[in-house]
Amino acid sequence: MAFDYDLDFDNINFREQPEKYRVGRGEQGVLMVEPYKSEILPHWRFKTPEIAKESSEKIFEMFKKYQDNDDFVGMDMARKFIQMGYTRARRYANYKGGKKYDSDGDVNEREIDDEKAESARIFEEKWKIVRTDEAYLEKKKEHQKKYG
């Protein structure tokens, strides 16, 4: 389901109006959905494996708390931030400065950064857990059936 970019995201509290939230693909909308963005973003870091471990564990803890509070939108947003931790760390692991393309639009040569690759692996572990969590998948199905 596509994300509804016609919504005025600045004026929507998705905790109070979960019916306006669409799951979207991958990390779609991750930096637009409040109050979750403001709750999760301060904990999202991947510079070193130690920082990635602390970050992924904190966001996973938030995922579980949202789950305990029957808050699917929060669960999905935590899942998106964990996924984004993996994808961004992978980008930085593969390309110096995280820049895949040069100024001419050509793909830069890969330069593997083992430290960032380890950060990506740490986030990937948590991503595999949350994306296959049975309660999460059930809530996702319910949300999509109810709201689209």
pLDDT class of 8 with cuts at 50, 70, 90? low
Which structural domain, as residue segments, surrounds residue 84? 32-98+110-147
- pTM: predicted TM-score of the whole model, two decimal places: 0.90
Q: Which backbone phi and psi does 107 adopt, to 5 degrees?
A: -70, 125
Let me know if residue 87 belongs to a domain.
Answer: yes
Let me know if residue 7 belongs to a domain.
Answer: no
Q: Which backbone phi and psi does 95 adopt, to 5 degrees?
A: -135, 130
Counting the structural domains of the chain, the total is: 1
Let me know if residue 10 belongs to a domain.
Answer: no
- Both tokens of 87, joined, read 């994808």
Q: What is the pLDDT of residues 74-107, one digit of tens each?
A: 999 999 999 999 999 999 999 988 999 999 999 9
Is residue 56 within 8 Å of 96, Cβ to Cβ? no
Let me know if residue 76 belongs to a domain.
Answer: yes
Let me know if residue 128 belongs to a domain.
Answer: yes
User: Is cis: bond before 49, omega within 30 of 0?
Assistant: no
